[in-house]
């Protein structure tokens, strides 16, 4: 038996060698940096280093939780994610279900390509397009408003518009990619189920309700659990490119607060504490969402 196991290891040695670079990459760039998490519990000094800096316990966490920015950044982070959950998440499912019903292969491929293409556009370019469209001086939308006799709207400097702009931009960029995930899940549906449903006289809507949609529920649940787990993580680059001091009341999120604290104010201890707080809350949310999904649908990440 031992000889058989040794033989298997020897036969699969080439596979282990191929896998080795990925293990080393994770060890060096993913696991080794975790040592830096202790900065969250120290008054970190760049010249003293991690080991030479003074321990302060939970002082950095207390400073963040009692900061006047805590409530605002937490509220804005949660609201932006709720907007994404309500509008962006179901829109990809709807698009996938609609494309699945399209029989014309050319049209289906065309729509998939057009909707998927924005995902490959750099976020800086996407933000630049959005800013140009909404510009008060040269933006298309304001030109249309002026043609109809309305006044210009300074979209990017008014806090009440930020969440809608952020959500709309993310929908345009990521809906096609997310829809492809659901379309891939739909390819696994047994065609004989549709044939049996047609024989029984089921309508298109009934087939969608009782066959198509239930077939992708496991995929939807996995995506939902991951979405809930990242509830305190907002697309940092998108916010950074779109927000400005005039819109801080609705656009300032935890990730931008970490950026200002760590990179601009050089308070690495506080920035690390906030990042660790985010990670712990995210883990708890994933665990709770997974338990809830397994209880309701019997599907989950683990």
- Please report the DSSP string for 8-25 in residue order: HHHHTHHHHHHHHHHHHH
CATH classification (class only), 63-297:
mainly alpha
pLDDT at residue 6, rounded to an integer: 56
**Per-residue pLDDT band at 236 (split at 50, 70, 90):** confident
**Per-residue pLDDT band at 300 (split at 50, 70, 90):** low
pLDDT at residue 4, rounded to an integer: 46
* Segment 140-182, tens digit of pLDDT: 999 999 999 888 999 989 999 999 999 999 999 999 999 999 9
Q: How many CA atoms lie within 13 A of 277 on its CB side?
A: 23
Percentage, residues of the chain above pLDDT 90: 34
Q: What is the DSSP string of 148-206?
A: TTPPP--GGG-HHHHHHHHHHHHHHHHHHHHHHHHHHHHTTS-HHHHHHHHHTT--HHH
Report the chain's mean pLDDT, rounded to a whole number.
87
**Cross-strand partners of 234:** none
* Helix or strand holding residue 253 (H, E): none
Which distant-in-sequence residues (6+ apart) come within 8 Å of 274 by Cβ?
64, 254, 257, 258, 261
Token reading at 256: 């931008």
- Integer angstrom CA distances of residue 116 from 98, 287, 300: 15, 31, 27
Report the alpha-carbon distance of residue 261 to residue 280 in Å, rounded. Answer: 19
pLDDT at residue 297, rounded to an integer: 73
* Domain range list for the chain: 63-297
Report the alpha-carbon distance of residue 158 to residue 148 in Å, rounded. Answer: 22
Report the alpha-carbon distance of residue 275 to residue 109 in Å, rounded. Answer: 41
42 three-state secondary structure? strand
Report the alpha-carbon distance of residue 101 to residue 208 in Å, rounded. Answer: 9
pLDDT over 60 (residue 238): yes
pLDDT at residue 159, rounded to an integer: 92
Alpha-carbon dihedral angle through residues 280, 283, 285, 290, given to the nearest 10 degrees? -160
Token reading at 103: 């029989």
145 contacts 152 by C-beta, under 8 angstroms: yes
**Per-residue pLDDT band at 8 (split at 50, 70, 90):** low
* Segment 65-81, tens digit of pLDDT: 998 889 999 999 999 99
User: Against a cut of 0.85, is the pTM above it?
Assistant: no
- Comparing C-alpha atoms, which of 147, 131, 132, 137 is closest to residue 243? 131
């Amino acid at each position: 038996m031992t000889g058989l196991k040794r033989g298997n290891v020897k036969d699969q040695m080439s596979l282990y060698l191929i896998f080795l670079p990925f293990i080393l990459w994770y060890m060096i760039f993913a696991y080794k940096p975790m040592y830096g998490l202790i900065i969250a519990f120290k008054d970190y000094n760049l010249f003293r280093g991690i080991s030479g800096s003074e321990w302060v316990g939970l002082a950095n966490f207390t400073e963040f939780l009692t900061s006047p920015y805590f409530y605002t950044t937490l509220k804005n982070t949660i609201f932006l994610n709720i907007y994404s959950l309500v509008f962006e998440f179901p829109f990809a499912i709807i698009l996938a279900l609609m494309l699945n019903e399209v029989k014309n292969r050319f049209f289906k491929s065309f729509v998939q390509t057009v909707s998927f293409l924005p995902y490959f556009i750099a976020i800086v370019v996407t933000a630049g397009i959005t800013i140009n469209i909404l510009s008060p001086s040269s933006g298309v939308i304001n030109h249309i408003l002026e043609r109809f006799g309305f006044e210009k709207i300074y979209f990017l400097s008014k806090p009440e518009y930020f969440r809608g702009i952020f959500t709309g931009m993310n929908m345009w960029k990521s809906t096609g990619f997310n829809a492809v995930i659901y379309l891939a899940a739909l390819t696994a549906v047994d065609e004989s189920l549709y044939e049996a449903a047609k024989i029984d006289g089921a309508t298109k809507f009934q087939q969608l309700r009782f066959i198509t949609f239930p077939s992708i529920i496991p995929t939807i649940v996995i995506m939902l659990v991951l979405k809930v787990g990242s509830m305190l993580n907002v697309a940092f680059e998108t916010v950074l490119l779109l927000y400005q001091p005039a819109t801080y009341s609705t656009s300032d999120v935890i990730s931008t607060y970490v950026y200002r604290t760590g990179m601009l104010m050089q308070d690495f201890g506080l920035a690390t504490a906030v990042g660790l707080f985010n990670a712990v809350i995210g883990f708890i949310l994933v665990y709770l969402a997974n338990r809830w999904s397994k209880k309701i649908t019997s599907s989950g990440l683990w």
